[in-house]
Structure 1
Amino acid sequence: MASRAPAQTGRVLLGFRKWYYNLCGFNKLGLMRDDTIYENSDVKEALKRLPENVYNDRMFRIKRALDLSLRQQILPKDQWTKYEQDDQYLTPYLDEVIRERKEKEEWMKK
């Protein structure tokens, strides 16, 4: 019985994550989670490091979402971004930028 508890907890947690992902609403506009990150200096540097095609895809999704928002519409349900399709394309670059900034700050303290 104890061995089944972690598996059931994992399924419940995944169900909650999917529910919350759909509740946020950005997927109804075709956005991914990394498209909604607030652009501070670290994020702006990470965006500069993105490959051109990934950056262009991001800009297309954001422009489409702005257009839909202005018209007060959402995409048809078959075009919504699904939880399983949402990859964190910016997160590795952002982690690298933050690590480099912290390393630079440590170096400047010495």
Structure 2
Amino acid sequence: MPHPTDRTPAQGREDAEGNIWFTVREAADFTGKEPQTIYSWARRGHLTNPSTDERGRRIYTQQQIAAAERQARLNAAGVQRVTAACPTHSDAVRSPTEVGPVLASPG
């Protein structure tokens, strides 16, 4: 994974207030993620209230993209903590020799 300082400069559009706006493709290029990841952030509610550009494409501010990326990282860290705290599925499943013989059902 590239280091945050290795990213290319933002290729979005700057508005009069100084906000930089990204299409999904530009956001993916900026974050080093795949466009599908950006779409999944939107589906999961990390990216809300998109505007649209002159071609009807969804666009998000740099702040929205940064907040979504931060939320996704926090969610992933939470999942890792929960997974580490729970026994793995393979530990919970016993082999057939540990369970004993299978009884035939009455016919």
Give the alignment's TM-score, normalised by structure 2.
0.38
Greater RCO (CA < 8 Å, at least 6 residues apart): 1
More strand by share: 2
More helix by share: 1
Larger Rg: 2
